[in-house]
Structures are given as C-alpha cells and as structure tokens.
C-alpha cells in the first residue's frame, strides 16, 4: 500500500503543476525566456544541449560533453548503447557478463550485485536507469546522445561520479512523418542478423500528438558450438515505445511515455576459459576465438518495461519541469562460469528490479546578471536475488542458493547559481544535498519476509564551482571543481550487516571551447581526479562475490575533440583521449583471483595493488568519423567511415584478461532515390575483422573471454516521409 501511495503522489506532482502552468499561460502576456533552438538542433556549429538542465549552446557549457545526433550515430554504424565507445573518446563501455559497466576516464564499477548501480549514470528521456542488465538497450528512435564526462554530482546526483549518459528519443510531432527500415547483415562465417525498425508520428487533435517506435532484431549467432556442432550465441531483441504529447497551452507540454524492451541473448555467455583445468583440457576444447564448448548453454533474458510522465511549463520567470519515472526489469541468467565442457561451476539467477523516481527542476530566466537552477529528487528502488544458484552441475542440487533483497530510498535537493561577474567572466556555484537509506535482507531459503540483515544511511554535500571566461562570441576558457558521491552499499551475498563505505570523487578540470572561422569546432580539456574508498568487486573461488573499498585512486589526462565542416559536402569529427594516470594510489590488501599454477583455474589471493593501473582504463583512445554527401540530378550519395583506436587495457583486478590495442573500422555507402524518401545502403562493421573482447567473467575456476562480433557486411532499405 505504501508503494501505491508513493506512485500516486509522484505521478500527481507532474499533473498538478501542468494544471498550474495552464492557468499561468492564460494570464501571461510576456513570452517566456527560452533558448531559440530546441535541444539537439544545430545552426551551423551551434549545437544545443541540456547538460545544465536548460537549453544552451554546447560551447557555452563549462563541462566536457560529447554529443551525437541520430545522423552521426547512423553514419558511424551505431545501433545500441554499448557502441557509443566508437564516437566518444574517454568512454569505454564494457560488460561483466550480462551487466553493463561503462567507464568514463577510468571511473567505473566492478560491482554487479542487487542494489548497485553503475558509477556512470544512464538516463533515458530524463529518467535514471538503475538496472545494469537492463541498460544494454538498442537505439531505434534516437534523437541524440549526450555524454557528460566527470562527476555530475550537483545537477544529476546519485551515482554520476564518473559522468552521465543522456539518451533522448524522438518526441511526438504535430507534423505527420515516419521512417522505416529493414536490414540484413552477414557475419564472417555465414550467420545472418535481421533488423526491422520504424518510427511514426503525427497529430491526433489540435493539442495532442502521438508517436510510436519499434524494433525487432534476430541474430543467428556468430559462434560455433563444437560440442553440439551448431551455431551458438543466438540473440533476439525487441523494442516498443509509444509517446503522447499534450499541449493544453502554448507554454505547457506534457509528455507521457510507455516502453517495453525484451532481449534474449545467448552470446553474452559464449565464453572461452583462458586458464582451464586439466579436467577441462581432456574434453573437447576450442581452438578458435569464435568456438565454444560449454556444457551449459548460457543466456541472459532481460525484460524491461515502464513509463514516464514529463510536464514542462514556461513562465515569465523561467521553466518548471517535473518528471515521474517508473522502470521494472526482470532478469533471468544462466552462465557457465568455467567456460568449458567440464561440469565445474555454473550460476543461475533471477534478479528483478523495480524503481520509481520523481524530479522537479526550475530553471530561471536571466534576472540581470543572475540566473539559477533549483530542484528536488526522490527515488525508490527494490532489487533482489530470487534466488541465485551456484553449483557444479545443473544435474545436481546447487551448492549455494541465496535469496536476498536490497531496498534503496534516496532524496536530494540541489541548486546552482550562474552569475555574470563581468561582461566576459561567468561564475557557477552549485550544491547538492543527498540522503540515502539502504536495507539488506537475505537468507539461504525462500522465506517471506526475508530477515533483515542490515540497514544504513548515508548523506553528503556535493559542490560544483566553475569560472568561464569569454574570449569572444565564439570562444571561451573555463576551470571547474566538482565532487561526486555514490552511497555505501551492502554485499548482498555475504550476509554481513556492515556496508562498504561511500565512494567519493574530487575532480579538477580546465578546458577551452571555440568555433574557428565558422567551420572548425574545437574542445580541449585537462582533468585530475582523486577518489576515496572506490568500491570494487572480485569473484571468490566458490563463485560468489566480495566487495571491498580501495583506499585511494587517482586519474589524470587530457582530451581533444574537433569537428570540421569542409567544402564540397565533407565533414570530419573526431577526438583523442590520453590518460597517463589511472591507478590505485593505495590498495594494500586487494582480494583478487590469481591463476592456479597447479590445477588450472583461479585461486583466492590478497595482493598489494598500490600504484597499479586501473582495470578498463586504456591509456589512449581515438575516434574519427568522416562523412561525404553530394546531390546529383537523380538522388543523393552519402559515404561515411568510422575509425576507432584503443591502446591495451586489463578487464579485471587480477590483470589476466587483457584487451590488446586495436583499430576498428566501419563504413557505409548510401543512395537516396530522388525525392522519393527511399534510401539503399551497403555497410560494413569491423571491416578488418579484428577480434576484440566483448565481456568477461573471472571466478574460482577460470577467466572467461567472450569475443565481440567479427566482420559483418550488410544492406539496408529505408523509407522516410
């Protein structure tokens, strides 16, 4: 009943203020103070973003941001959230099994237990997405993606210690339009991947517009199962999203969104053990990166559904926005932990999650030299193991069966003031107060209710200070100090009432942004981070997990991003991230899994990782997207090439699973037939057929590597109107 009451209160807040906005509109004669462009639109080089909870030009925001429109994502061959690495230097979107764990500038999470969210906050249409398995979604109806680098602890709050990824889908339009496409891609080795997606929008009445978007994808599997002599790694996924836009007055927008996502993925656990036991080596064992020989056919079934209600009213004094979000994720996973034909270790789990959030933000207009943003946030989350089974073989009872539940209640109030100290100098001062309560219940049996094991509360103040100096209308320099906070959490397999400590980040950054001669956009940044009590995880020999705090961590580096608009339809955009420092300053008693030199697999160990480089933190990353468009009498030619480079890095604390340096190349050639709206494209992904690691699992019986897709060549037919 409490949950129902919370839902009524949260949803009612958005509807109630929308009614107030309508009443205000009827008595308002002065137009509201808003940006001339909508977010994501461009006029020349003036890209508009919402990184500071208001529409602003990208170069006016003193934050490192990479923005990609739908067109640039399509040109780079990006169709899902994990591929954002290909266009975002400093972002390394990695997986631990089926769990999404993006890394920005070396800040990431290794923890995959209930109640733990990634250290890089992901927002879908303004709603925080908590479930790591649920965050591997496709992007069929994208408008733009904003990747905010560095702690966003003031305006975005919880868990944005490394940064935030804002995914904005297409909004309903009162003009009827749509886009539909079908694709067929063939992997090296013969497997097909079929994709169909579409988007349709239009007016229902003078004040109501609607949109619907969907996608279905079927991947036959690019792995070969040598035990069963068949394809392995089959993937089926689907997305359905609907939106209603209600405009009761010129200054009020109310958008209701509902979505359903389902993904059945057999590729995510198609791993090969790099340290197999003698027993496993005596059985059929793969000799190719795309061969598997697992006695358990692992999979990840993820179902996510939910909705949001966003109401926005523009007043004479500013803009008030209320966003209510609900997300439910049901996760079922079966994984062959040993990655071999031997019945040594498996894990099977059910991990449902329910999350409800409410945020209200007011962004003022300019009051002389001052403007401000203020808001409040409430969040309620329940996630559990229901249960997790760990054992040697599916044919025998599990050796470990754990039922556990993590419950989170989080509240925050925040504000930021922007002051024009002179005609050229602007100061930002912000502060967020966060308060979180964690509850951990668990047992070795299915009890109702589960016994309460521990509860704890955490609070913190996270400031943001920045100075921006305007060199000209087209250039500025800035310096900032920000902090990030991730609350403490419980190890929900340990039955310990003692939580790990909160993780805190102090970040310093200097940067410059400029448009040069009207055709060059340049963004430069240098950063230094200090982290206290970084939360880390290792899998111990029995297959369960252990969470610890690393004493202190340090990161430092530089980034450069450039976009060139050349004559003749040529466009170039790219960037480089160089991070020479990403290390544990002090971590003297690190619990890890080290290779067992006698029986194979891994064994528990405690080592000193002080002065050791962090996992998932390549020293150098670079991206380049080149596009060319030319109009002919009978149609339009579009060409694009995307190159991605990364230096080598390790996946986990034991430093066994290593990704070597690599270069990946994607390319597309498309032809639009006159004014028909019909476009045909030929494309290639991973053109050089480079084998890279997609995700990993490390545990007491070995180190499993799952490889990303080989070369894929395909065709797409698209109709737009």
Helix (H, G, I), strand (E, B) or coil at 117: coil
- Residue 109 confidence class, pLDDT cut points 50, 70, 90: confident
pLDDT at 514: 96
Tokens of 647: 């230096």
pLDDT at 271: 92
The whole-angstrom separation of Cα 32 and Cα 314 is: 6
| Cα distances (Å, whole numbers) of residue 198 to 178, 195, 214, 670 | 7, 10, 6, 18
For 279, left (φ over 0), alpha (ψ -120 to 50), or beta?
A: alpha
Pairing state between β 662-673 and 64-69: unpaired
The whole-angstrom separation of Cα 278 and Cα 600 is: 7
Comparing 547 with 228, the larger pLDDT belongs to 228
pLDDT at 140: 87
Is 43 a residue whose pLDDT tops 50? no
Handedness of CA 449, 450, 456, 458 (dihedral sign): negative
Question: DSSP string spanning 416-453?
Answer: EEEEESSSSEEEEEEEEEEEEEEEEEEESS--SSPPEE
Q: In this predicted model, what pLDDT tens digit does every residue of 500-541 receive, in sequence order?
A: 999 999 999 999 999 999 899 999 999 999 999 999 887 665
Q: In this predicted model, what pLDDT tens digit does every residue of 211-262 receive, in sequence order?
A: 999 999 999 999 999 999 999 999 999 999 999 999 999 999 999 999 999 9
For 674, left (φ over 0), alpha (ψ -120 to 50), or beta?
A: left
> How much is the average pLDDT of 670-692?
97
> Structural domains in the chain?
2-720 (2.40.170.20)
> For the chain, what is the mean pLDDT?
91
Q: In terms of Cα–Cα distance, which of 475, 484, 668 is closest to 86?
A: 668
- Residue 542 confidence class, pLDDT cut points 50, 70, 90: low
Of 44-48, 83-87, 418-422, 462-466, the range with the lowest mean pLDDT is 44-48
The whole-angstrom separation of Cα 125 and Cα 325 is: 10
pLDDT at 539: 66
pLDDT at 605: 86
Q: In this predicted model, what pLDDT tens digit does every residue of 709-721 receive, in sequence order?
A: 999 999 999 999 9
Q: In this predicted model, what pLDDT tens digit does every residue of 431-458 receive, in sequence order?
A: 999 999 999 999 999 999 999 999 999 9
Question: DSSP string spanning 340-407?
Answer: SSS---EEEEE--EEEEEEEEEEEE--BTTEEEEEEEEEEEEEEEEEEEEEES-TTS--SEEEEEEEE
- Our CA angle for 10, 14, 19, nearest 5°, is 140
The whole-angstrom separation of Cα 308 and Cα 255 is: 8
**Number of Cβ atoms within 10 Å of the Cβ of 688:** 10
Helix (H, G, I), strand (E, B) or coil at 20: helix
Question: DSSP string spanning 158-214?
Answer: TT-SSEEEEEEEPPP-SS-EEEEEEEEEEETTS-EEEEEEEEEEEESSSSEEEEEEE
The whole-angstrom separation of Cα 91 and Cα 465 is: 24
Burial of 459 (0-12, 13-18, 19+ CB in 10 A): middle
| C-alpha 230: how far from chain center | 33
| C-alpha 77: how far from chain center | 17
pLDDT at 27: 38
Which residues have CB under 8 Å from 601's CB, separation 6+?
A: 273, 275, 276, 277, 338, 344, 595, 700, 701, 702
Is 123 a residue whose pLDDT tops 60? yes
Is 295 a residue whose pLDDT tops 60? yes
pLDDT at 37: 44
pLDDT at 541: 57
pTM of the model: 0.91
Question: DSSP string spanning 282-296?
Answer: TS----STTEE--SS
Of 163-177, 510-524, 539-553, the range with the lowest mean pLDDT is 539-553
The whole-angstrom separation of Cα 96 and Cα 133 is: 10
**Number of Cβ atoms within 10 Å of the Cβ of 350:** 16
Q: In this predicted model, what pLDDT tens digit does every residue of 579-627 receive, in sequence order?
A: 999 999 999 988 888 888 887 888 888 899 999 999 999 999 999 999 9
| Cα distances (Å, whole numbers) of residue 194 to 184, 191, 264, 388 | 5, 10, 15, 33
327 in Cβ contact with 132 (< 8 Å)? no
């Amino acid at each position: 009943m409490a949950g129902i009451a919370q839902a009524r209160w949260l949803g009612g807040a958005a509807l109630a203020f929308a009614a107030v906005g309508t009443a205000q509109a009827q008595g308002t004669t002065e137009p509201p103070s808003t940006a001339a462009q909508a977010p994501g639109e461009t006029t020349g080089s003036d890209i508009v973003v919402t990184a500071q909870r208001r529409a602003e030009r990208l170069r006016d925001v003193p934050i490192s941001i990479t923005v990609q429109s739908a067109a640039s994502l399509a040109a780079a061959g990006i169709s899902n959230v994990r591929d954002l690495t290909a266009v975002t230097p400093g972002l390394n979107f990695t997986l631990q099994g089926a769990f999404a764990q993006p890394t920005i500038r070396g800040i990431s999470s290794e923890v995959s237990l209930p109640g733990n969210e990634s250290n890089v906050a992901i927002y879908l249409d303004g709603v925080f997405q908590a479930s790591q398995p649920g965050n591997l979604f496709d992007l069929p109806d994208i408008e733009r993606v904003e990747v905010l680098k560095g702690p966003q602890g003031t305006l975005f709050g919880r868990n944005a210690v490394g940064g935030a990824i804002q995914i904005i889908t297409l909004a309903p339009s009162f003009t009827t339009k749509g886009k539909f496409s079908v694709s067929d891609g063939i992997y090296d080795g013969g497997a097909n991947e079929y994709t169909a997606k579409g988007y349709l929008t239009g007016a229902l009445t003078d004040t109501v517009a609607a949109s619907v978007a969907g996608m279905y994808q079927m991947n036959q599997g690019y792995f070969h199962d040598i035990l069963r002599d068949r394809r392995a790694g089959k993937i089926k996924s689907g997305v359905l999203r609907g939106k209603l836009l209600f405009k009761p007055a010129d200054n009020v927008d109310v958008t209701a969104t509902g979505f359903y996502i389902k993904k059945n993925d057999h590729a995510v656990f198609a791993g090969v053990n790099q340290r197999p036991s003698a027993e496993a080596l005596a059985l059929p064992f793969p000799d190719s990166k795309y061969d598997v020989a697992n006695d358990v056919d692992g999979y990840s079934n993820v179902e996510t559904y939910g909705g949001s209600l966003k109401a926005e009213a523009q007043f004479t004094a500013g803009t008030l926005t209320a966003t209510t979000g609900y997300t439910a994720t049901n996760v079922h996973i079966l994984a062959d932990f040993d990655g071999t034909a031997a019945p040594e270790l498996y894990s099977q789990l059910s991990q449902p999650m329910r999350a409800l959030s409410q945020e209200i933000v007011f962004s003022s207009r300019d009051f002389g030299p001052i403007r401000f943003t203020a808001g409040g946030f409430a969040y309620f989350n329940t996630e559990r193991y229901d249960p997790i089974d760990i054992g040697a073989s599916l044919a025998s009872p599990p050796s470990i069966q754990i039922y556990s539940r993590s419950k989170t209640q989080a509240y925050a109030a925040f504000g930021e003031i922007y002051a024009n100290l002179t005609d050229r100098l602007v100061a930002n001062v912000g502060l967020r107060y966060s308060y979180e309560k964690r509850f951990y219940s668990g047992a070795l049996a299915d009890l109702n209710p589960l016994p309460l094991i521990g509860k704890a509360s955490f609070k913190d103040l996270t400031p943001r200070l920045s100075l921006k100096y305007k060199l000209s209308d087209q250039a500025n320099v800035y310096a900032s100090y920000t902090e990030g906070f991730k609350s403490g959490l419980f190890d929900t397999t340990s039955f310990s009432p003692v939580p790990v400590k909160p993780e805190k980040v102090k970040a310093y950054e200097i940067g410059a942004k400029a448009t040069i001669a009207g055709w060059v956009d340049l963004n430069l940044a240098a950063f230094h981070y200090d982290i206290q009590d970084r939360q880390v995880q290792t899998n111990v020999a029995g297959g369960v997990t252990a969470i610890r705090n690393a004493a202190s961590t340090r990161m430092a580096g530089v980034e450069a991003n450039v976009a060139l608009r050349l004559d003749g339809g040529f466009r170039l955009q790219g960037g480089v991230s160089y991070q020479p420092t990403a290390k544990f300053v002090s971590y003297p008693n690190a619990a890890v899994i080290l290779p067992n030199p006698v029986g194979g697999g891994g064994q528990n160990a405690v080592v000193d990782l002080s002065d050791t480089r962090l996992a998932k933190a390549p020293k150098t990353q670079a991206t380049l997207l080149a596009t060319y468009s030319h109009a002919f009498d009978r149609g339009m030619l579009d060409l694009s090439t995307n190159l991605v480079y990364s230096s080598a890095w390790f996946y986990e604390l034991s430093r066994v699973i290593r990704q070597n340096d690599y270069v990946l190349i994607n390319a597309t050639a498309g032809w639009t037939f006159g004014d028909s709206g019909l476009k045909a494209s030929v494309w290639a992904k991973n053109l050089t057929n480079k084998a890279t690691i997609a995700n990993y699992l490390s545990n007491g019986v070995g180190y499993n590597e799952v490889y990303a897709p080989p070369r894929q060549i395909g065709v797409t037919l698209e109709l737009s109107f």
